[in-house]
Structures are given as structure tokens and as C-alpha cells.
Structure 1
Amino acid sequence: MHVDHDANADNRPTVSVVIPMHNEQGAVSGLVQGISAAASELPAFEIIAVDDGSTDGTYEALKEMQKDCPQLRILQHRIAGGQSAAVHSGVKAARANICCTLDGDGQNPPEELPKIWAPLVSGDDASIGLVAGQRVGRKDTASKKLASRFANALRGWMLKDGTRDTGCGFKAFRTQAFLDLPFFNHMHRYLPALFKAYGWNIALVDVAHQQRLSGESKYTNFGRAMVGIWDLFGVVWLTRRAKSVSAKEASRS
């Protein structure tokens, strides 16, 4: 993989890996170690763990890992704000021009990360704003997979976003392009549609999936469905009203 070394001319990391975490104490060590190993091929990287109001020992576990991982930065929400809020806080704090996300429960194997950031780090296609993972061989319950399949089909029909699995935590994107998007809760499930609406191309990458390392799901199937219906109508409205032009300052003559 070609690495753009110019990205580090100002001592910024090549990639910032953002992990939203809520009561994931048991997953901390494996995730931080796995991300560090996967990112060892990069000139520089940082890991931004966002403790989203955890009530277990997640924060303490992160502080312990920080002793041996200088690339680890820790942000903390006093109260839980949800996955999208945690991701947004992490991206706002990121020092790299490229951010990569994965779930904090360990179901996204860190060794898959290089496949996600490769299209952006290579710099071969400046039109790509987002690389989205699509899970294969999902290790979820039958009911959760069925609910997800229905939600993805409905979302795909309404948004025409071209991806079968927007619920996958693996995403890589241009940091500023993400911050230019309108923020709302649960936006992490609609990033392909939002990036396309704002003029970016997206790349899709198949990724592995594994059993949860700790904790339990933060959503019920019913609760996810109810929130998702309202979100869908909102995202349809947003994508149809997205700003479609950008300005370029004229050079002084």
C-alpha cells in the first residue's frame, strides 16, 4: 500500500482511529492492542477512545492501557450521549486528515482496519470521501440479523445509498468532510447517503465480524426500528436539501 508521507509534514498522524465505548471494560485491552498492531504499518497514528458515560470500569481500563500505548488518547462524556455523539466528539478531537471508526464491543476485528483506510491513505482517488465496511458472516442472533436485513432493505429503497449494511462500525472518511455534515443522533447509520448527498463518492469493503468481547447490545430490535423510521424520513429530507455547490477563492492577480 502506498502511504502519503506528506500527510505527516506537520507531525500529524496519518490516521486517527476513533472508538466509541459505553460499558466495554472487557474489550478495551484487546481492541487497543489490536489497533496498535494493525496500524504499525503507518508512519504515525493515534487512537481516540471516547468513553460515553460508562458506569463500569471502561475509563479505568483505558487509563491502564494508556501507560503502554502513547498513541492512545481518552475522551470522556459525563453522561451517555449515544454512538453518533461519541464518534462526533472523537472526530472533532482528531489530528489526522483521515479518521477510521470501529465499534467498541470488539465485534469489528481490528486486523481488518488496513482494508478500510487503504483507499483514502493511498490518495489514488480524491473523489472518495467515505469507505464503508460491509459485514460478512455476521455473528449476531437470528432475530437481530433479520431485523437488520429488513432495515437495510427499507433504507436502501428510500435513500438509494448503494450499500447493504450501513450498521457496520467500520468506516473511514476524510475528517473535514465528516465535520461538514449536519450532526444528529444516529447519523452514523446514514453516512453513505450523507456523503453522497454532499458530493463525495463512497467505496465499499467486505469485512469480517466476530462475537462480542464484552457488554451487551445497547439497542433492542424494536427500539432500533422505531428510531430508525423517524431517522429515515429526516435523512431523506436532508439529502434532498443538501448544499450541492462549493466556492473557490479567486487568486490575486
Structure 2
Amino acid sequence: MGNPSRPIERISVLIPVYNEERTILELIRRVRAVELPYQREIVVVDDGSTDGTREALAQEAEGARDLKVIYHAVNRGKGAAVRTALTAATGDVLIIQDADLEYDPRDYPVLLRPIVEGRTQVVYGSRFLGEHKAMYFWHAVGNRFLTLVTNLLYDTTLTDMETGYKVFTAEVARRLRLRSDRWGFDPEITAQILKRGYRIYEVPIAYNGREYWEGKKITWRDGITVLVTLLRCRFLD
């Protein structure tokens, strides 16, 4: 007997954004262009941008029924922006979407399918399973190492813990107690999902990684933050 399908009326796309004036409006256009049989809302949290992103969003939000824009007075980090977006979201399923065009919204049907079919309540899009532009070597090594540590600590078999595409039901969202403001967000949400007994379903996604000259922000120091967060969540929280 198969799993019962999960009824979905509305999806919420959560977009934390910081200084992405060049890409944010194009991303919103791409999110709107995806054909889905559900209502959708786009929740953008501007995390203290100083480059014109705020002004572009304010103009885009005028008269837009599908777009909510929330502004942080100062930059607080991706984790803080996602927490703010979670409080404003009203969808049955939530999709976390980076604002830099590395991740393609055309993957939404693939990401949503396991939830719609009742197979899981959490889906991660894996950059290592799908087609992708070659990453920086040490970024790939770091990602695989941190994913390996996650698998060892939480008894799972993920291929891409640090993915920007994390999709989950409103029920899962209500059980999260997130507090990491910056790069500790991805390991913290993963740890809480796994410790609460949810199994993560991975699907392949396309990935078009940015270069540093295009604004890529992560460094090796952020990897240390991720590792410390994984250990904290496993043994202290």
C-alpha cells in the first residue's frame, strides 16, 4: 500500500537577501515563471542591504499580491533572515531559495514531488547528484567533509548537507527552534530535522555556482562555524 498523497494549497518561497541588487528581481521573475498547480507566496527578507537591493524590492512590492518584503535594519545573517521569513510564511510547504541565481527555480516540481506523493516531509536538492558547473576544488572537498561529519553524527546518508535548496512542510517548520544567525544555519536546521525523527529525501538539482568576482561570499572560516555547529547540536543542544 503506497503512502497517501499530501494536499498542498499554497507554497511559500523564502528568500534571504543581502546586497543582491544585480540578481534579486530576475530571481523573483524566475520564481513566478515556474508552472505549479498551487498558490504561491514569495517572502523576501532584506538583511540590511546597502547596494540598492532594498529600493529595488520596495518598488517591486508595490501592488504585488504574491510578494511580501521584510526589512532588517542591519545585517544579521542568513539564519536570522530565514527565521524572520518563517514567521511570515503561510504556505503548506516552504522552499528556501538563495537570491544569487546559483539555484534554478525550475527545479521546484522535482523538489516538491516527494512531499506531494507522501514519501517524506523534508527534501534537499543535491548539487552532487544533478548537473552542475564545476565547483572550486576546496569548496567541494569542504562540502563533502562536512556532509560526511553530518552523516556520522546523525546516522544518515546525505550527499549535500550545505545545499541551498531545503524544502519542508509547515509541520516541520513549526517544530524548529533555530538560533544560528549566520553560516551555522544549514547544519543547525539539518541537525534539528534529523533529531526530531524526520528522514531527508534528496533529489538532483542543477547548480550554477558563482565565482568570487561575482559576489560569492563563503570562505574556509565559515566551514569551521559549520563544523562547530554540527558538534554543538549533536552533543550539547
- After TM superposition, the structure 1 = structure 2 runs for residues 46-61 of structure 1, keeping only pairs within 5 Å, are 46-61=41-56
Letter in 1 for 2:217: K
Identity %: 24
The separation in 2 between residues aligned to 1:189 and 1:215, in whole angstroms, is 25
CA distance in 2, matches of 1:113, 1:158: 29
Distance 2:209 2:185 in 1: 24
Deviation at 1:162, TM superposition (A): 2.0
Unaligned runs of 5+ in 2: none
Distance 1:33 1:68, change over 3 A: farther
Retained in 2: the 8 A contact 1:134–1:165? yes
SS in 2 for 1:168: coil
- Which whole-Å CA distance do the structure 1 matches of 2:95 and 2:37 have between them? 13
Match of 2:18 in 1: 22
Number of the residue aligned with 2:58:
63
After TM superposition, which residue ranges in structure 1, 4 or more long, deviate above 4 angstroms? none
Task: Measure the CA separation in 2 of the matches of 1:211 and 1:64.
Answer: 28
* Residue 118 of structure 2 is aligned to residue 124 of structure 1: yes
> Separation in 2 of the partners of 1:230 and 1:62?
35
1:15-37 superposed Cα distances (whole Å, 9 cap, x missing partner): 00001111111111211011011
Matches within 5 A, 1:1-253: 4=7, 7-8=8-9, 14-38=10-34, 40-67=35-62, 69-120=64-115, 122=116, 124-125=118-119, 128-135=120-127, 136=130, 137-185=132-180, 186-212=184-210, 216-221=215-220, 223-237=221-235
Residues 66-111 of structure 1: CA distance to partner in whole angstroms, max 9, x if unpaired? 2474311101111112111111111111011211111111100111
Aligned-partner SS, 1:212 = coil
Read off the aligned partner of 1:143 and give its amino acid letter.
Answer: W
* Structure 2: distance between partners of 1:43 and 1:152: 32
Describe the shift of the 1:114–1:84 C-alpha distance in structure 2 as closer, same or farther (beyond 3 A).
Answer: same
* TM superposition shift of 1:190: 4.2
Higher-Rg structure is 1
Whole-Å Cα distance in 2 between the matches of residues 57 and 116 of structure 1?
31
Which consecutive residues of structure 1, in runs of 5 or more, have no partner in the other structure? 9-13, 242-253
- Aligned length in residues: 226
Assess if the C-alpha contact under 8 Å between 2:178 and 2:189 holds in 1: no
Structure 1 residue matching 2:121: 3-state secondary structure: strand
Per-residue CA deviations over 1:29-57 (Å, capped at 9, x if unaligned) read: 2110110111x323311000111111111
Q: Secondary structure at the match of 2:22?
A: helix
Once residues 216 and 129 of structure 1 are traced to their aligned partners in structure 2, the CA distance between those partners, rounded to angstroms, is 33
> CA shift at 1:149, angstroms?
2.1
3-state SS, counterpart of residue 18 of structure 1: strand
Deviations 1:5-24 (A, max 9, x none): xx54xxxxx10000111111
Give the 3 Å change call, closer, same or farther, for CA 43–158 of structure 1 in structure 2: closer
Greater Cα offset, 105-114 or 185-194: 185-194
Pairwise CA RMSD of aligned residues?
A: 2.3
Q: Distance in 2 between matches of 1:190 and 1:183?
A: 7
- For residue 139 of structure 1, report the CA deviation from its aligned partner: 4.4
- Write the distance in 2 (CA, Å) between the matches of 1:219 and 1:41: 32
